[in-house]
Chain A
């Protein structure tokens, strides 16, 4: 691991200033960043520990929703009585991810910002446009069973690994940040992640030093809220395909997918097809999909997972 200097600021303004330094990176739970630092895929010269900023509360908003602090641990978010009652999809997605140990450390903001688990991103002996821009993509001709089928590019077919983000996408979360100049802004999660295009190393719209301070959920949607995660073992594995579903009594709802794209994948137009069934919705969700021979199974798998959830929601 490369050496780094360390500081733990006590105020947001100090953190934002420190985070703007050349080579600086924020650290919260560290469960993904430390892993990547050991492999020297991430090589920050300076770590800014944000655990002292008091961003660890879940508060009710005037609009009837919840504001989740950036540092709320995945365990605490999943277990919060308001989340379990009103945003069950979020609890179900959270507890489908990682292990109990990791969820105790992992934070809301860190979960959003975790890097892909593409094996070629992790293998520093192989080309990877995300890790080493311009070096090529070993996954395109390599083992791509786990990788993306939609929203990908010629430069990168990596997926975003988060379960939590799939639920937040379906629930229309907004991501609150503070920029290095101290200006706050709110970014709808649908505009937060970037498709890889020619620059897969740029994953979000965050600017240099911009710090996530919280995530806001709108008022509860109600309805049945279900999450299905298909994976190679029953627990503690990344998704091949995951489906988050909200189905309300009037037949309207939300669908978001994980494990298929460089971001939690949602196509709002597909939700108008919910009454027509899973096949019609998936046709729109996977419009323009470019699966490889090895991961083309993800399309029928997602459709069947959605069909199963729709049947469960209506029963």
Chain B
């Protein structure tokens, strides 16, 4: 099956008693990828170790930090808590698909302008998450701080803080992350 990506070569280990593997095809940042992988490979490890898209980061590997956040079929998820074999036919967007250095997404530009990071390790997850947060608010998905469950939801600082709580920043750049997201939300209005 044709892949748009060059897969990092590795031994297949297909001897008897080898761990079960499965074939999977999915679209990553608009390009097709197909391959045969160990069933235990997470979506995060597929992206980083098999395909070489190292923008998505492995922080805790247990869904607690959000550094691995990617967008699957339009929704943000923790790539570390998902088996790649379960993503047959899915469309995945990673930070590499959000924007490029010469064509930044407005959120990426806002993170630069507001210094929304220090070490930068959590930033790809923060930006993927923030993109989805703005869409979730526009779609009327309520949050823990939404008081009126039936009225349209305003993109307030309180809403952004609550919705971004699944993305931890060990450096504590939260104030600037909030400023960056707020600016883009403001611009979208």
Contact = CB atoms under 8 A, between A and B. Distances in A.
Contact of B142 (A1, A95, A98): A95
Interface in B141-155: 141-144, 146, 149-150
B92 interface: no
Nearest to A39: B62
A5 B17 CA distance: 12
B32 interface: no
Interface in B135-189: 136, 139-144, 146, 149-150, 161-163, 165-167
A51 B144 contact: no
Contacts, number: 106
B123 interface: no
B124 interface: no
Contact of A100 (B20, B38, B136, B139): B136
Contact of B86 (A49, A75, A91, A234): A49
A84 interface: yes
Interface footprint category on A:
35 or more
Given A5-B39, A31-B63, A102 B78 contact: yes
A105 B150 contact: no
B162 A235 contact: yes
B76 A78 contact: no
A297 interface: no
Given A34-B42, A35-B63, A105 B81 contact: yes
A30 B38 CA distance: 17
Interface string B34-60: 000011101000000000000000000
A38 B58 CA distance: 14
Given A5-B20, A38-B62, A79-B141, A100 B39 contact: no
Given A84-B149, A100-B136, A235 B63 contact: no
Contacts of B86: 8, 27, 30, 49, 51
A91 B149 contact: yes
Contacts of A101: 63, 66, 69, 76-78, 129, 166
Interface string A231-263: 000111000000000000000000000000000
Interface string A67-93: 000000001001101001100100110
Interface in A209-240: 234-236
A4 B143 contact: no
Contacts of A85: 149-150
Given A99-B165, A101-B166, A6 B85 contact: yes
Given A100-B133, A101-B69, 14 more contacts: A3-B40, A30-B81, A31-B63, A34-B42, A84-B142, A92-B149, A95-B142, A99-B66, A99-B165, A100-B129, A101-B78, A102-B78, A104-B75, A105-B78
Interface string B106-122: 00000000000000000
Nearest to A49: B86
Contacts of A75: 75, 136, 141
A47 interface: yes
B63 A79 contact: no
Contacts of B141: 75, 78-79
Contacts of B81: 30-31, 34-35, 102, 105
A3 B20 contact: yes
A84 B142 CA distance: 9
A96 interface: yes
Contacts of A91: 142, 149
Nearest to B86: A49
A49 B129 CA distance: 26
A6 B39 CA distance: 7
B19 interface: yes
Contacts of B75: 75, 104
B61 interface: yes
B33 interface: no
Contacts of A5: 20, 39
